[in-house]
Amino acid sequence: MLYCYAMKEYPKQISLQEVWVHFEGFPLAHLATVEGNQPRVRPMSLISIENRLWLATKTEWDKVGQIIANNKVEFTVAPLSKNGTGSIRATAIAVVIKDRETKQRLSLAIPWFNQYWIDSDDPNFTLIKLEPTRMLYDHPSDRRKYTVILT
C-alpha cells in the first residue's frame, strides 16, 4: 500500500526569485515519479529557460509513461555554497509538451540537445514542463529552512 503525505511547510518564507539562481546552469536534479505503487527516482539535468523549469528526455524511457499515468512528481536539487550543501525539494505537476514551436525553441536553447536527438521533431524527444506546486529550501549558507513563495 502506498501512502501519500502532504509536504510540510516551514514558517520562514523566501521568494522564488531568491532560490531561482540554483536552477540556472542545468543543475543535476533527482526526479521522482510513481510506477504503480513504487516510487522511481533518477538523476536528470534540470533546464531553466524562460523563467520555467523543464526536462528533456527520450520518449522511450519509462519516466514518460509514468508521467502520463500520474503527472504528480517531486524533484530535488542540492545547491552548494562555500559553507556547505543545501537542498531544494519541490512537488510539481509534470506536463508533456506537444507544441512543436515550444519544443523547437527549447531544443535550440539546450546546449547538449544534439548529443541525444536529431532535431525537435525527433519522435524520441520528449519535453516536459515542471509546474511547481510547493517548494522547500534548506539554505546552504545560513542553514535555515524556508518555504518558497511560488506566486
Strands 52-58 and 47-49 turn out to be: antiparallel
In 3D space, the residue among 16, 14, 67 whose CA is nearest the CA of residue 44 turns out to be 67
Query: Is residue 1's pLDDT more than 70?
Result: no
Q: Which homologous superfamily is 13-149 in?
A: Electron Transport, Fmn-binding Protein; Chain A (2.30.110.10)
Contacts (Cβ under 8 Å, ≥6 apart) of 139: 14, 86, 145, 146
Written as one letter, the residue type at 22 is H
pTM score of the predicted model: 0.92
Domain residue extents for the chain: 13-149
Query: Is residue 139's pLDDT more than 70?
Result: yes
In 3D space, the residue among 87, 73, 80 whose CA is nearest the CA of residue 31 turns out to be 73
Pairwise CA distance, residues 149 & 139, whole Å: 14
φ, ψ dihedrals at 114, nearest 5°: -70, -10
pLDDT (tens digit per residue) in 93-114: 999 999 999 999 999 999 999 9
Query: Is residue 63's pLDDT more than 80?
Result: yes
